[in-house]
């Protein structure tokens, strides 16, 4: 039973390029969450999605960032026109329900470096 799969593990982009981060939740999980961890800081909530719906994107920057979780396929976090400040580790988590009572399962993250 594979856990939460994120790819790529490492991504290098030049300033102005687009970054696409993928997350496949655990089998049977329909709730996906994205968190960002800047260097030397704790994880910060970005967005919560269910299949085909964005439930809460209050932690997403207003510009350049978007997320989707289509009916088929992985969840995608997309960052357009990346800047150096976007360099961070991006973690995806999934759960069975929309509560945290059961603990989230996190992926290993995508480390984005903007050069």
Partner 1 sequence: DAKTTQPTSMDCAEGRAANLPCNHSTISGNEYVYWYRQIHSQGPQYIIHGLKNNETNEMASLIITEDRKSSTLILPHATLRDTAVYYCIAEGGSNYKLTFGKGTLLTVNP
Contacting positions for partner 1 (CB under 8 A):
4, 6, 31, 33, 35, 41-45, 48, 56, 59, 91, 93, 95, 98-101, 103-109
Query: Closest approach of Cβ 106 to partner 1, in Å?
Result: 3
Within 13 Å and on the Cβ side, how many CA atoms surround 4? 25
Q: What angle do CA 93, 75, 89 make, to 5 degrees?
A: 55
Spatial separation of the C-alpha atoms in residues 59 and 115, rounded to whole Å = 24
**Closer Cβ to partner 1, 95 or 114, answer by number:** 95
Query: Closest approach of Cβ 18 to partner 1, in Å?
Result: 23
**Closer Cβ to partner 1, 17 or 89, answer by number:** 89
Spatial separation of the C-alpha atoms in residues 64 and 92, rounded to whole Å = 18
Query: Closest approach of Cβ 2 to partner 1, in Å?
Result: 14
**Closer Cβ to partner 1, 19 or 47, answer by number:** 47
Is the distance from CB of 12 to CB of 96 less than 8 angstroms?
no
């Amino acid at each position: 039973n594979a856990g939460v799969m994120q790819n790529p593990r490492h991504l290098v982009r030049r300033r102005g390029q687009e970054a696409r981060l993928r997350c496949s939740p655990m089998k049977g999980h329909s709730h996906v969450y994205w968190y960002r961890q800047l260097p030397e800081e704790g994880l910060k909530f970005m967005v919560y999605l269910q299949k085909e719906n964005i439930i809460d994107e209050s932690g997403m920057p207003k510009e350049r960032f978007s997320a989707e979780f289509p009916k088929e396929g992985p969840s995608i976090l997309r960052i357009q026109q990346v800047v150096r400040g976007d360099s961070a580790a991006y973690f995806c988590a999934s759960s069975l329900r929309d509560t945290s009572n059961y603990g989230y399962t996190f992926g290993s993250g995508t480390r984005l470096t903007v050069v």
